Structures are given as structure tokens and as C-alpha cells.
Structure 1
């Protein structure tokens, strides 16, 4: 059995904010590499929020969000810029 090594019993879901026991949560690593554990701090999702996640690849997504300064403007202004940037980079959905 693995030792607890300074683990807390409860964690907070990064999506909904609910506090759940660690045993009922899922570890989340935004880089997708939860096996490389050296010098990392993991975030957690409750099972309900984890089940609702989209499992599609997110290559370049974080870079695009930083570039568009996500969270600094209103939602509709951000979404307009986001859809424009995605269409410029990858083409419109109609083309696919």
C-alpha cells in the first residue's frame, strides 16, 4: 500500500468548487502527464465534473487562451475573438 505522504483527506473540485474526499476525486494534470509526478501539484475534479469532461485533444488551446488574454474581457467579446482566431488557424467547420 502506498503511503499518504502529506496528503489531505479532502480536496476541492477545480470545476464546481465542491469539497470531496480525495478517494472520491480524480487527479487532474493540465499537461496530461499525471505519471510524471516529480515536483508537481495536482488539481482535482469530483467524479461528476470528471464525467462531464470532453476528452478531445487540447493541443495549442492553453497557448491560444493566453494569447487572447482569456478572462480579461467580457464573455461575448472573448468568444468573438476566440471563434475568429480558431477559424483563421484551422478553417471554418463548414470546410471540414
Structure 2
């Protein structure tokens, strides 16, 4: 018997980035903790292929802890972004903008 029975999977999912409903087979699983391989007692959010491709796929070690520390969602966007940029530069050095 397969690990995930097809009866328990929805046929469509909603992309958490753009809000589009897409077929489950055309979506990518997203785990905010960055550990999509440990599936025990987890539910996943999903991204459509286009939004998934737009993501930065660099490691995000310490990101969730930093967001909690800076009280993301508890302050205005301008205050949060200012604190975030300042904290990241203090801890990791100057930010460089990528150029395609």
C-alpha cells in the first residue's frame, strides 16, 4: 500500500502565493520549516509551479527564528522591514542585490 493513499489527497490545491487553484500533481509542496522530507503529523501548503520557480531556493537556516524574534506580523511592514534589514546586516554582513 502506498505511503499516501490517493483517497486522502485532494485533487486540487490552492497556491499560497497567488491564490490560484491548481491540480495537486501540478503543484509543489511547501513546508515553512524547510523540512519537507519529515512527513509525520504534517500538513503542507502548496505553490503552483510558476510561484515555486520564483522563490529563492537558498537555505533559510534561522529564518523562522528571526521572524519570530522580530515579531513579524505584529508591527507595521515598514518597521518590520527596517528591523529585518538592520538585523540581517548586523549578523551576516551587507546585503547584495542579485542581478540577472
TM-score, normalised to structure 1, is 0.85
Q: Give the whole-Å Cα distance in 2 for the aligned partners of 1:35 and 1:88.
A: 32
The structural deviation recorded for 1:32 is 2.6
Residue 31 (structure 2) aligns with? 29
Q: Give the whole-Å Cα distance in 2 for the aligned partners of 1:68 and 1:7.
A: 36
Tell me the alpha carbon deviations over residues 9-44 of structure 1, each in whole angstroms, 9 at most, x when there is no partner. 111111111111101111112223222222111110
Residue 55 (structure 1) aligns with? 57
The runs of 4+ residues in structure 1 deviating greater than 3 Å are none
Residue 92 (structure 1) aligns with? 94
Distance 1:39 1:5, change over 3 A: farther
Residue 77 (structure 2) aligns with? 75
* Contact kept in structure 1, 2:72 and 2:80, CA below 8 Å: yes
Residue 9 (structure 1) aligns with? 11
TM-score, normalised to structure 2, is 0.82
Residue 38 (structure 1) aligns with? 40
Q: RMSD over aligned Cα, in angstroms?
A: 1.8
